[in-house]
Structure 1
Amino acid sequence: MELDIVCVCVWHTDRDAVVATAQVIFRKVVGVLRRPDYFFVLIAAILGFVVLALVPPLQVPDEIGHFSRAYALSELNFRQDNLSTGSGAHLPTAIGQFEEMVSRDNLPNLYTAKYTPDTARRAMAIRVTPERTDRMFVNLAAYSPVAYVPQATGIAVARLFTSRIGVMFYAARICNLLFFVGLCYAAIRLIPVGKWLIAAVLVSPMVVFLAGSLSADVSVFVYTTLLIAITMYLWTRTPPQIQTRWWVILGIVACVLALSKQAYIVFVPFVALLLVRRTKQFRWRTSQLYASRILPVLLVFLSVVVAYIGWTYVNQSTDADTSLIQRANGFAVNPEEQLRKVTSDPLYAVSTVASTAVGQASDETFQSMFGSFGRLNVNLPMWAIGMYVVVLLLFVGYVSQANASLLVQQRTLALIIAGVLVAVCSLGIFVSLLLVWTPVGAESVAGIQGRYFIPCLLLLAPGVVGVYRHTLRLRYLILPMTIVHLSMCILLIDRYYGFFT
């Protein structure tokens, strides 16, 4: 009887201790989730590694080209070669064997084809040999090496320990994901406004899907976020003096953004906000301009121009005719003829761009901004996409110290500048793809993908946060995000492994 009483007492004591420990852990987890920077790291890291593991190799848009480009860079081949078939590099035949193995049964295009353990085992067994062949990736010819530093680093490190091409591939994916998580975490910590909105955009399904791949778009997301964060931090800080090291960092970030994908050089003038004093009323008097900042801002612009011209000069002899790929696939693409048609019939260009931007073709563009996975043929349900868009809109008005907004006049100025830059960037993307990727006479612009416009959401964020306000609790915003992320994982598992069908 006494022994039973002792056992019951011990059980109650231990149970109370376990409950107390669980409560402490729960509070800590909740505390982490209430900080947007920690929330981003937790979600981006977990979901990124899940996507990295779930999505078979080379099942991401242009991933074979990104892998080839990164492998060439890991061998210190910084500029693509002009091959008989177009620009590319002389690379190990193991890359082609790896591509053929992981694409068995037409996996990229046939929904009923699944990625089996046998296929994975055979693919991971392929080793690099001295045998080499030409590999073309002409559509990546304009990209500078800065877009592939993380991927190439992973490949270079893996090559020190193994000759298995599959290990090199996954090492490149891991480094790209760590690069994304680490630098975006630093940017979210630094930016003083709209932290939650920025974090929500960066953990949106399409961004995380790309972060777990070898895509060069990851560099654009990272450098755009850093440019915005540094600019906002310097614009809102007190005292207003800016140390030289910050100008140097800002100049470097602006340069690497412009060199990652040339279309986003348009975002660099966002730093012109640093010329304007943070006052409640902007009347554009001379006293409201920081004369001491004019020269540093001009030097930032100059450094970007020099970097851009420098890379163009180095790469000028590279065959960067991206229309080669379309012609090889049987499409009547002719940039010279298309330019003549556009100049002789401007209404054709306007109607083609309008049809793609707001017409029937715009649905695919919108869907691919949030949830077109695989080779753009594994689509997240529209209810999930709609739910995530609503979450983003709610974060615009979410009242929180971590989601602080600018003063009304400051917010208006930031939104105007960002809106103009986004419009110019978007128009540039449409026009460039119309000329070099679209068959002459087509009714819509070919090659437009929604992921190209995700950096635009980031640039607009500081100006839209606080345009309205609500008092919904954070849990009601995180819950639907979690539902969308779970639906994304279920979709990918079903697509590539068929566990749910």
Structure 2
Amino acid sequence: MIEAIKKHKRIVAAVVILILTAAIELVCNFPAIRGGYDNLDLTKYITVEKEGNKEKYVISYSSPQKFYVKELKLSGSFPKEYSYTIKTKEYNSFDKESEEYYSDTVNSWFSDFYTNLNKKVTSIEITLNKVEDAELTAVSCSNRFEINKYRILFFWALFSLIYCLFFEKKVYKKIECFFAIYAFIFGLLLVVYGQPIKNSWDESIHFGNAYTMAFGKHVEWTEAALFVKNGQIVSCNTKEEFAELRAYLNGKGIETVYAESKEMILPSYTKLAYIPQAIFIRLGMILNLSFSTMYAVGKLGNLLLYIFVMFLAIHMAQTKKMFLSFLAVTPTALYLASSYTYDTVVFSFLILACVLWANMIFYPEREYSSWTYILTVLLFVIGCASKAVYIPMILLFLVIPYVEKKKPKKKVILWSGIIIILMLVMLTFVLPTLSNAAAGNITFGGDSRGGDTGVVRQIVSMIKHPWASVKLMLVSVFKFDNFRNLGYDTADNFFFGNLMCLNFAHNGILSDKWSAILLPICIILLLYKTPSETVRGRHSMSMLNKFIVLIAVAGTIFLVWLALYLDFTPVGAEYIAGVQARYYLPLLYLGALLFTGRKVTINWSEETITKLTYSAATLLGFALMYQGMLQGRII
């Protein structure tokens, strides 16, 4: 029997996964199984009441018996988006009574509006302002049995990954392959759950840049593309409303309503990171896909590039491979990879460059061609193209053995080349500021979204107050609690590790208690030595190398804070706005390299460390996905 199971373990696993997924779906539908009803029509309870000079719709219904409300539905036509309130008398699992209030919205795009309640109640009262041209035509509630495809997909993916991790031993031989499988499944779920709305940081702006690049000289904007680019999407919080949103945008994504001509067909170097997204958007257009599908396909371009580059990085890494593998599947990294952004190219290209650099440092006796050196420099340059603040990392090349082995003349040439690249990239954002300052244009730069910001005026303010500026920089960097996530306290007041690694932007962050998993696994992986780190011929990092790494990291951190102070902070403010913990992600692998050659190490088997690493990643990632992408949105 046992031998038969082992022989057909994949078939057995598939059956078990299907049974578990079906069981969970039945449990989630238990209220409907026990006392379900398709539709309770409350339309006849609609009344119009006057409150001063205004009118409002009031729907009040009560029952002597407790009944379960899974979903409320309002139907009608409304001239704009505005909210309504729901008051319930409900009972918890101990039958304790309480009065609760909820709010939701109606809008001009849809005709039906849904609210997931999932409560046992005896009364419901809905209040909705009756503005001009608004008409509420029907109200109902339901507790029907319903299979949720999003929830099924979630648990099927979760159980499948758990099976692969614990029962497929090939995983331990090629950790980069398991990374690719995990990242693709997790990222694909994020793309599907994301819907055609703004989820990630400044995603509407990034989509606009990628969409523009998808065209040649002339850009054709549909109404749907403009809605997404300008962040004018109505609020949705149920799967039915998201279905209506997709249908609405698909209808608005057919005809061109606005056209513009680009000055240059070729993208500027600062926008190279959008190329994969633009290619896949264009592919969606060629295949005549609907707008919502094309929007999702564009994200796939970003995800596939990320998986490819990080696969190479993990495969090539000889030092801190498992730490790098965990870093690559942290929820924030995969969330960015499944969104419209340039951060994915910045992160993955810089990480791959650091891996190649580390190999040259720790294994100098191996043969490295000139092309390896050139490729590594190129990866750094491309990674810094969209965010020049990371360019100090290129100083790492001053100490690689490849340069040290050259004759003095060639050594000077190579060093000079590195310094020239550094200066050229720095000039790309320094020169415009200096030229505008010289021309007397003190309004140059600043936050395009408004506010009392300006790069030139901020520099003048810093020059006038040098000591205050130095103090502000030092205090801000070492304070570790000045990270801005979305710009309001409830989204920003988290442990910086969670803000960095367990963050889904507008879709939420795992609370600080989850750092009890994040911190120990990071410490274990920093102390863990892979077999490749114990081979003969491996060199340790010299004090000079460590000093250069510290200078590169410190210089990058300083530029990040300085750039955000100049661009996004009101002139003369005693704080720095806009710095986000995720900006530190590209520096983590480089920092981990400092934890080599130490006396305290962990020498567990690769099987044990792999299971531990990806168990932690799966727990953190799927907990955040369920909390942020499913709960309160599509289930």
TM-score range, shorter chain: 0.7 to 0.9
Deviation at 1:197, TM superposition (A): 0.9
In 2, Cα distance between equivalents of 1:497 and 1:336: 44
2:619 alignment partner, one of 483, 493, 497: 483
Determine helix, strand or coil for the equivalent of 1:426: helix
Is residue 2:565 matched to residue 1:434?
yes
The equivalent position to 1:231 in structure 2, one of 357, 362, 375, is 357
Q: Aligned partners of 1:313, 1:142: CA distance in 2, in Å?
A: 17
| Partner Cα distance (2:239, 2:572) in 1 | 35
Q: 2:482 maps to which residue?
A: 361
Gaps of 5+ in 2: 12-162, 484-492
Q: Which residue of 2 aligns with 1:70?
A: 210
Q: How far, CA to CA, are the matches of 1:445 and 1:142 in structure 2?
A: 29
Choose which of 288, 294, 301 in structure 1 pairs with 2:411.
294
What letter matches 1:74 in structure 2?
A
Query: Residues 397-432 of structure 1, C-alpha deviation per residue, up to 9 Å, x if partnerless?
Result: 113315669967426544332221111111111111
Q: Does 1:454 align with 2:585?
A: yes
Q: What is the 5 A alignment of 1:14-413?
A: 16-22=3-9, 29-33=168-172, 35-56=174-195, 57-76=197-216, 91-98=221-228, 103-105=233-235, 116-132=242-258, 144-162=270-288, 164-237=290-363, 239-275=365-401, 290-291=406-407, 294=411, 297-298=414-415, 301=418, 304=421, 308=425, 323-327=446-450, 331-359=451-479, 360-362=481-483, 364=494, 365-375=496-506, 378-401=508-531, 409-410=540-541, 412-413=543-544
Question: Kindly tell me: are residues 40 and 113 of structure 1, through their superposed partners in 2, closer, same or farther at Cα, counting changes over 3 Å?
Answer: closer
Structure 1 position 125, deviation (Å) = 3.8
TM-score (norm: length of structure 1): 0.78
- Structure 2 distance, partners of 1:183, 1:114, is 37
In structure 2, how many angstroms separate the alpha carbons of the residues matched to 1:115 and 1:443? 43
Name the % identity: 16
Deviation, structure 1 residue 73: 1.6
Deviation per residue, 1:334-359 (Å, 9 max, x gap): 33332222222234324433453343
The secondary structure found in structure 2 opposite 1:215 is coil
* TM-score, normalised via structure 2 length: 0.63
Residue 210 of structure 1: CA displacement?
0.5
> Max radius of gyration: which structure?
2
Residue 623 of structure 2 aligns with an amino acid whose one-letter code is: S
Task: Note the alpha carbon deviations across 1:83-132, whole angstroms, 9 max, x for none.
Answer: xxxxxx88444312345798313x5xxx8999632223323443243321
Q: Give the Cα separation in 2 of the matches to 1:156 and 1:70.
A: 10
Q: Secondary structure in 2 aligned to 1:410?
A: coil
Following the alignment from structure 2 to structure 1, what is the Cα–Cα distance between the partners of residues 603 and 373? 38
Indicate if the aligned counterparts of 2:498 and 2:511 stay in contact, CA closer than 8 A: no
Name the CA distance, whole Å, in 2 between partners of 1:77 and 1:194. Answer: 45
Matched with 1:3 is none
Gaps of 5+ in 1: 1-11, 79-88, 278-287
Question: Whose relative contact order is higher, 1 or 2, with alpha carbons under 8 Å and at least 6 apart?
Answer: 1
- The answer to which of 167-176 and 217-226 deviates more is 167-176
The count of residues paired between Structure 1 and Structure 2 equals: 454
Q: Distance in 2 between matches of 1:306 and 1:431?
A: 17
Deviations 1:302-352 (A, max 9, x none): 78359748977999999996524242xxx2223333222222223432443
Distance 1:356 1:55 in 2: 34
Name 2:601's counterpart in structure 1.
469
* Separation in 2, partners of 1:311, 1:333: 20
Name 2:112's counterpart in structure 1: none
Higher helix fraction (1 or 2): 1
Cα distance in 1 for partners of 2:208, 2:411 equals: 42
Query: Which secondary structure state, in structure 1, belongs to the residue aligned with residue 569 of structure 2?
Result: coil
Q: Deviations over 1:138-166 (max 9, x none)?
A: xxx98613211111111122221226332
Q: CA separation in 1, counterparts of 2:411 and 2:7?
A: 58
Amino acid at match of 2:519: V
Go from structure 1 to structure 2 and tell me whether the alpha carbon gap of 1:496 and 1:299 turns closer, same or farther (over 3 Å shift).
Answer: farther
Provide closer, same or farther for how the CA distance between residues 267 and 73 of structure 1 changes in structure 2, counting only shifts above 3 A. same
Shift of 1:254: 2.7
Taking the aligned partners of 1:300 and 1:224, their CA distance within structure 2 comes to 19
Closer/same/farther in 2, CA of residues 309 and 443 from structure 1, 3 Å limit: closer
Closer, same or farther: CA 40–483 of 1 in aligned 2, 3 Å: same
- Structure number with the higher strand fraction is 2
Range with bigger deviation, 394-403 or 205-214? 394-403
Distance across 2 between alignment mates of 1:307 and 1:439: 28
Partner amino acid for 1:304?
Answer: I
